[in-house]
Structure 1
């Protein structure tokens, strides 16, 4: 990097654990200056220390009023601009669809859809105002495209983010802003590990889950991070409005 070149900056929401922290690690390895957000100050500072000097942490609950704008403003103040947004922050939800309380529906959509929209708007405005274009990668789910019992509310929230991806890609293209999605399948995150451990026979559950995937294994967070890194990179300069399934071929069946 020459003295006149500015290091590319990525903002990763939900970047303090699971898939999010692996995305942050990959982008730092690729030379980005990465701003991570999360609710936990403790986890966020740990990520910042791990990835120093190319990481900054901004604590935020993105469901709070004005949080998205504040996070983007902080990121710009800390780094000088945003080139990439990875919209990764999300919460899980399971429950029989007909019995899910309205409060749980709202909470799921507030994080997985409404907060993601607000961050996309705020980051998109920053990219527009800087007149350099940019890349937005929304982390959705295979469940945005298939039906699984007890996952209806979560699926709907991720489906909203998938629909936003295609609409935003078309609308923001004249600004030089690309918008794509990555749809992880079953991935070995702390939430997955907790779920497996809670089963009557964890080993049998792992075998059953892997057997349903054409590639025969559960994804590692690095698999998802690699797809995000591609869509964020200049190598994907002519790619917008797509969703890449990172699911070992599950959706291809």
Structure 2
């Protein structure tokens, strides 16, 4: 098992890619401390702990790190899989929504890294940030989301250099369209869901959306010792979208 005995904190653990990552980490032997915005997580394992909270709240992030320190002593892997997306034409987006997108993606990632990185053991640790294909390209009505996810990439690259002397590796997984419950719901809201699904899939060179598990496999790889000489990297899991 690639993560056997590793002490891991996973954010955004209650749905979508985060939930798939939790399942895969569990199968790979990791010890888990999980967090998300949902009040409860029904399938928490007997040796796992779930804390509900908002990563924009520094007091909560400090408490999360304190629980991690008491539970594990040190943290080997941090996966930052949370996020917030609000779509709007740039000139019509409210300042409140813009702040929410930046806080929910970029500043929350900063806070988690700030408080959890000090728990890395002397031998080093791995931090994996989940950004988006939209962190590397522009798309109408997603400008603030692109700015926030692009900021996550820049933050991770800077941290990778700053923390390299401590052997803390910081990498990014950038998913494309992924079949999460949120994406499925957005497709099903379309007047012609089948046609809309085909249109979205045709925009991807591989001709289909990713599964959440496919993104989780990339996260596990970057978290593991198999990626021990990789830091500051951005790994797209987007079916070739950003290569086109």
TM-score (norm 2): 0.96
| 2:105 is equivalent to residue 112 of structure 1 | yes
Structure 2: 5+ residue stretches without partners = none
**Structure 1: which 4+ aligned runs deviate by more than 6 Å?**
none
Number of equivalent positions = 242
Structure 1: 5+ residue stretches without partners = none
Per the alignment, residue 74 of structure 1 pairs with 67
How far does the alpha carbon of each residue in 1:50-75 deviate from its partner, in whole angstroms, 9 at most, with x for none?
xx235321121111132212111112
Supply the distance in 1 between the matched residues of 2:109 and 2:60 (Cα, whole angstroms): 11
Supply the distance in 2 between the matched residues of 1:34 and 1:25 (Cα, whole angstroms): 10
1:79: Cα distance to partner? 2.7
Does the CA contact (< 8 Å) of 1:21 and 1:47 recur in 2? no
Q: Residues 12 and 181 (structure 1 numbering): CA distance in 2 closer, same or farther, change over 3 Å?
A: same
How far does the alpha carbon of each residue in 1:87-138 deviate from its partner, in whole angstroms, 9 at most, with x for none?
11111110111111111111111110111101011111111xx323100000
Q: Residues 214 and 168 (structure 1 numbering): CA distance in 2 closer, same or farther, change over 3 Å?
A: same
Q: CA RMSD in A?
A: 1.3
Q: Residues 94 and 153 (structure 1 numbering): CA distance in 2 closer, same or farther, change over 3 Å?
A: same
TM-score (norm 1): 0.92
Supply the distance in 1 between the matched residues of 2:199 and 2:108 (Cα, whole angstroms): 34
1:176: Cα distance to partner? 0.7
How far does the alpha carbon of each residue in 1:164-215 deviate from its partner, in whole angstroms, 9 at most, with x for none?
1111111100001000000000000111011101111110111111111111
Does the CA contact (< 8 Å) of 1:28 and 1:55 recur in 2? no
Per the alignment, residue 143 of structure 1 pairs with 134
Does the CA contact (< 8 Å) of 2:169 and 2:232 recur in 1? yes
Query: For 1:183, what is the secondary structure of its paired residue?
Result: strand
Q: Map 1:8-157 to 2 at 5 A.
A: 8-42=6-40, 44=41, 46-48=42-44, 52-127=45-120, 130-157=121-148
Query: For 2:163, what is the secondary structure of its paired residue?
Result: helix
Supply the distance in 2 between the matched residues of 1:138 and 1:205 (Cα, whole angstroms): 30
